[in-house]
Amino acid sequence: MKTKAECRAEAIELVHRRRHAALAAADQTREKLLLENPDFAHIEHSLIALSREKLVAAATGRGGEDVAARREVLQKKRAETLRRAGYTEEDLRPRFSCTLCDDTGQVNGAVCRCVQTIENRAMLRQLCEQLPAGQFTFDNFSLDVYESKEEKAQMQQVLTACRRYAEEFGEGADNLYLLGGTGLGKTHLSFAIARAVAAAGRFVIYCPSQSMIDELEKEHFGHTDESLSESYLTCELLILDDLGTEYLSPVALSSLYTVLNGRILRRLPTVINANLTPRELEKRYGERLASRIFGCYRTLRFVGRDVRILRRMASKKM
């Protein structure tokens, strides 16, 4: 898994490669003209000589009175020669992908939008590789599978809250605890949150809690990249799926607390999916971690029966 800094570095490298390619293509076109068109070559050499003459005149204070006039004549001849050869002045200029920064990656000392766009696409692509199969979005989250009016009303509130959370995501966003049994749509809506927030250019990490703990344990014992814990601690949104299903060791418990508490201290939002009530959470992870979650997270309760079972039952009736 790449960090945001690594995605940024790769984006900058790509932009620089584009610049070098554009410059090389322009040079190639110019060299071809110089070889194939003696008139163009003569004019180019004359313009270079004229530029040198202007520099000498500026340094010595002598001559150079008619340099501007001669340059204008040569420029007109150059344009006409290019036209007869089937070229324009634009053909000799580098065709940069970004007209804002000319593929330098910077505008007035700030990172250009082209770099940010490439970086965001890379992070979104990486996120999609982490996510479960299927195009889970807010729009295809169906309330029809919930049986009673009360369940539909509750899940409509949950859907609205998750959609608003993604749309308004920014500094100071809440931590969410998506609580409910298996197959009630927690993964679907957390996936939708992740996709929407990442599409807005935010650095999102989505993973099962077991995967994160496995990676942190490997890091703890020196078997993997040390930047992993930093990514979990500093990404703009961390989404942990299926908290409570992981194998729990003393190292795993310590690592989990370090990440969740560290993000709370940094005021970075986390979304957790679980089917553990406050009492069950405290029994499994201890009072310290349970109090941090239920004291600093907003709980959204999912209700109903396993929608996957209901869909299978409905398909058999058809």
Taking only the tens place, the pLDDT of each residue in 122-168 is 877 777 676 655 578 899 898 888 888 999 999 999 999 999 999 99
Residue 57's beta-bridge partner residues? Answer: none
- State yes or no: pLDDT of 81 exceeds 70: yes
Question: pLDDT > 70: what percent of the chain?
Answer: 89
pLDDT beyond 60 at 56: yes
**Per-residue confidence band for 261, with pLDDT thresholds at 50, 70 and 90:** very high
Q: Extract the tokens encoding 180.
A: 């409910």
Q: What is the pLDDT of residue 69?
A: 83
* Judgement on whether residues 171 and 245 belong to the same structural domain of the protein: yes
- Among the listed residues 175, 226, 234, the one whose alpha carbon sits nearest the alpha carbon of residue 202: 234
Task: Determine whether 72 is exposed, middle or buried from the number of CB atoms within 10 Å of its CB (0-12, 13-18, 19+).
Answer: exposed
* 113 in any annotated domain: no
For residue 258, the domain's CATH number is 3.40.50.300
Q: What is the mean pLDDT of residues 173-198?
A: 91
Q: Does 59 share its domain with 155?
A: no
* Confidence grade of residue 21 (pLDDT, cut at 50, 70, 90): very high
Residue 269 has pLDDT above 80, yes or no: yes
65 within domain boundaries? yes
Mean pLDDT across the chain: 85
Domain count, the chain: 2
pLDDT at 94: 93
Report residue 65's pLDDT band, with 50, 70 and 90 as the boundaries: low
Q: Are 85 and 163 within one domain? A: no
For residue 47, give its domain range: 4-107
Q: Residues 55-78: what's their mean pLDDT?
A: 80
| Cα 180 to Cα 166: distance, rounded to the nearest angstrom | 20
